[in-house]
Structure 1
Amino acid sequence: MELDVRNKGTIPVIHHADFSVQGYRVIRELGRNHADERITYLATDCKSQQTVVIKEFNLANETIDWSGSKAYEREIAILQQLEHPRIPRYINSFATSKNFYLVQEYKNAVPLGTKDNFSPAEIKQVAISLLEILVYLQQQIDPMIHRDIKPENVLVDEQLNAYLVDFGLARQQSAKIALTTLSAGTPGFIPPEEQFGYALTPASDLYSVGATLICLLTNTQTANIGYGGLKFPKLENHFHPSFRSWLWRMVQPNWKDRYPNAASALVALKSIPVTGKASVSEILLAAMKLKKRTAMLALAALGMLAVGLTTLVFSQPGGATQQLEESQSLIDIK
């Protein structure tokens, strides 16, 4: 970094990347991913004067997956299929000798990870907005799984509208996942089924959403969330029992114990208060549901037992099956 010493003191002079040949003027650096050596810039399209985001990929660090495509190629392919007001759209791309650049629509919003003053009600609003995006992704002909939802990849504007970014790990549900990208997300936000190489489902992204909300509700940094919820901090008692129950269901280790998809999680969340205590009627209703569930499980067990006994009786030599066959033979003879 050069220093300007024309005046008293020293003033650092920052050199931005020059994309004037490609038709863009860099305004400032938005973020830097040191692990992947990626830089994101805020820039202006010199022709349209549109504000855009330019995402840099280091060509030397980009690995090829089973299909022969690189991360930026997969991300472009995914973004070109999507059209949602809260998913920044793909605009353009270009390459230099060392790097590849992806140009996207700019949204006047900041990452959730940079804010820590949300009220519980505001967090619920953000959660609803984020789940609405997932509903859209999961309603595609081949449902889309983002695979990297965390506070840094969710932007929020002044009206608490959520925006989902960074589709570098996103996959269609039917697509194969290369071994090199298994558990390639952020520790603590990766659903357990992905860690162990099992198939992903629409419930997989819900785990990441739940972990993200826990970060916001407990002012916990992304790095302090542990694998499999082992380090999930406790929620304070002022959160409503129904909301806590909803949230813990989102981060259940077994995907079958979570909500099956974003649509069902969204419907459940909308009617749940975030803070306060459960009323007597709510407690009674929960008890009735628990009792009903227990009764249904008992009936299911009795049903399975009855089927087993019936099969046993009919399969025994000289049993009911043989007796029925003998009776039918006598009728036929007569």
Structure 2
Amino acid sequence: MELDLRNKGKIPVSQHPDFSVQGYQVIRELARNHEAGRIVYLAYNCQSQQPVVIKEFSIDHETTDWSGSKTYEREIALLQQLEHPRIPRYINSFATAENFYLVQEYKQARSLKTKCSFSATEIKQIAISLLEILVYLQQQVDPIIHRDIKPENILVDEQLNAYLVDFGLARRQSTKIALTTLSTGTPGFIPPEEQFGYALTQASDLYSVGATLICLLTNTHTVKISDSSLQFPKLAPHLHPGFRSWLLTMVQPNGKDRYPNAAVALTALKSIPVTGKASILEVLMAAIKLKKRTAMFALAVMGMGAVAITTLVFSQPGGATQQLEESQSLIDFQ
């Protein structure tokens, strides 16, 4: 989102809500969700001249959960308790006869929805930045699960720092989730356990992170991955097998097969190369972690002849190393 305040005085007032009484002037609309009855505006504070983001909630569209709280009330309550440089902070809120408005800090960053062309190395940097935010959320006394991680809700600045927005579906891990809010995220990014009404864990958001990264790596638009079959496009063949293994671990259907939390996933990712070929040991270890049926194959290969013979075989052009990597790629994407 590039901010340009130079033309703010030229925008007809009739095009946007008038918040002059509340001390804000709308610059332009940033996003709109027709189904949920929500609009996000870029505005500036008339007194401080600082840019802000104003999120509009249509009162007619808002429903209460089992505790009697509305979406915007839950979001405000969470934001007021958070203090992280890459989570836009809560500033203010106000209501009109028809709508409720949440005012947040503006970040000079673009939504991942607007730009999908990143190198694999840049995507890894974005992943690290995003996981750092999740580590913070999960380290709360009662861990917070965002529940709606997708390209639209992630902003990235010029330095590839990620910012996480829209905490409308976020919950404390111990909080009961109303039946009416189950699977209300975006199809394709919702972890299977949420779709079937099972308890969410700190591994639940990791599924959404993995799906988001795969979208970026394959330059796939959100709507094209919004499929209950979860058939992700094949990952680029130039990616390091360890990185592919890490990604596919993130999106395992069974939450117990993913990394247990963001801290573990982050530690694992930092040491993994993004591109290039893996050593035979790395290929075998990745196979063992991803597919149980591959374990027997790995043990058979490890039980091959003497070291000298093994070295000779694996060093030949088009030899076992290449075959194993090709076999691993086939296994990963079956």
TM-score normalised by L of structure 2: 0.81
Amino acid at match of 2:97: S
SS class of match (1:197) = coil
The verdict on how the C-alpha distance between 1:288 and 1:258 changes in structure 2, with shifts beyond 3 A counting, is closer
Contact 1:224–1:231 (CA<8 Å) still a contact in 2? Answer: no
C-alpha separation between the residues in 2 aligned to 1:203 and 1:195? 14
Cα distance, 1:282 vs. partner?
A: 2.9
Determine the structure 2 residue equivalent to 1:71: 71
Contact 2:241–2:286 (CA<8 Å) still a contact in 1? Answer: no
The verdict on how the C-alpha distance between 1:248 and 1:283 changes in structure 2, with shifts beyond 3 A counting, is closer
Amino acid at match of 1:153: N
Deviations 1:217-245 (A, max 9, x none): 01111111144553211112111110000
Cα distance, 1:279 vs. partner?
A: 2.4
Contact 2:150–2:208 (CA<8 Å) still a contact in 1? Answer: yes
Contact 1:192–1:228 (CA<8 Å) still a contact in 2? Answer: no
Q: Which has the larger radius of gyration?
A: 1
Amino acid at match of 1:267: T
Deviations 1:159-213 (A, max 9, x none): 0000000000000000000111000100000000000000000000000000000
C-alpha separation between the residues in 2 aligned to 1:147 and 1:238? 31
Cα distance, 1:117 vs. partner?
A: 1.6
Amino acid at match of 1:130: L
Cα RMSD (Å) of the superposition? 2.0
The verdict on how the C-alpha distance between 1:41 and 1:263 changes in structure 2, with shifts beyond 3 A counting, is same
SS class of match (1:115) = coil
Contact 1:16–1:26 (CA<8 Å) still a contact in 2? Answer: yes
C-alpha separation between the residues in 2 aligned to 1:286 and 1:61? 47
C-alpha separation between the residues in 2 aligned to 1:287 and 1:249? 11
Amino acid at match of 2:244: R
C-alpha separation between the residues in 1 aligned to 2:33 and 2:287? 48
Identity %: 77
Deviations 1:17-61 (A, max 9, x none): 110011101111111112212111111111111210000000000
Amino acid at match of 1:241: P
C-alpha separation between the residues in 1 aligned to 2:140 and 2:149? 18
Contact 2:242–2:283 (CA<8 Å) still a contact in 1? Answer: no
The verdict on how the C-alpha distance between 1:284 and 1:37 changes in structure 2, with shifts beyond 3 A counting, is closer
Determine the structure 2 residue equivalent to 1:130: 130
Contact 2:288–2:295 (CA<8 Å) still a contact in 1? Answer: no
Alignment of 1:177-192 (within 5 A): 177-192=177-192
C-alpha separation between the residues in 1 aligned to 2:228 and 2:120? 24
Where structure 1 has 5 or more consecutive residues not aligned to the other structure, the ranges are 1-11, 296-334
Contact 1:137–1:143 (CA<8 Å) still a contact in 2? Answer: yes
SS class of match (2:26) = strand
TM-score normalised by L of structure 1: 0.81
C-alpha separation between the residues in 2 aligned to 1:180 and 1:156? 31
C-alpha separation between the residues in 2 aligned to 1:245 and 1:288? 10
The count of aligned residue pairs is 283
1:19 corresponds to 2:19: yes
C-alpha separation between the residues in 2 aligned to 1:50 and 1:202? 36
Amino acid at match of 1:168: G
The verdict on how the C-alpha distance between 1:244 and 1:284 changes in structure 2, with shifts beyond 3 A counting, is closer
Cα distance, 1:275 vs. partner?
A: 1.1
More displaced 10-residue stretch of structure 1: 231-240 or 119-128: 231-240
SS class of match (1:202) = coil
C-alpha separation between the residues in 1 aligned to 2:175 and 2:101? 25
Amino acid at match of 2:63: T
C-alpha separation between the residues in 1 aligned to 2:295 and 2:288? 10
More displaced 10-residue stretch of structure 1: 55-64 or 23-32: 23-32
Amino acid at match of 1:92: N
Amino acid at match of 1:78: L
Amino acid at match of 2:201: T
C-alpha separation between the residues in 2 aligned to 1:285 and 1:192? 26
Contact 1:148–1:208 (CA<8 Å) still a contact in 2? Answer: yes
Determine the structure 2 residue equivalent to 1:265: 265
Contact 1:226–1:232 (CA<8 Å) still a contact in 2? Answer: no
Where structure 2 has 5 or more consecutive residues not aligned to the other structure, the ranges are 1-10, 297-334
1:155 corresponds to 2:155: yes
C-alpha separation between the residues in 1 aligned to 2:281 and 2:174? 44
The verdict on how the C-alpha distance between 1:25 and 1:240 changes in structure 2, with shifts beyond 3 A counting, is same
Amino acid at match of 1:242: G
1:92 corresponds to 2:92: yes
C-alpha separation between the residues in 2 aligned to 1:180 and 1:269? 35
Cα distance, 1:288 vs. partner?
A: 8.8
Alignment of 1:1-334 (within 5 A): 15-227=15-227, 230-283=230-283
Contact 2:243–2:274 (CA<8 Å) still a contact in 1? Answer: yes
C-alpha separation between the residues in 1 aligned to 2:137 and 2:43? 28
Structure 1 segments (4+ residues) deviating >6 Å? 287-291
C-alpha separation between the residues in 1 aligned to 2:150 and 2:287? 34
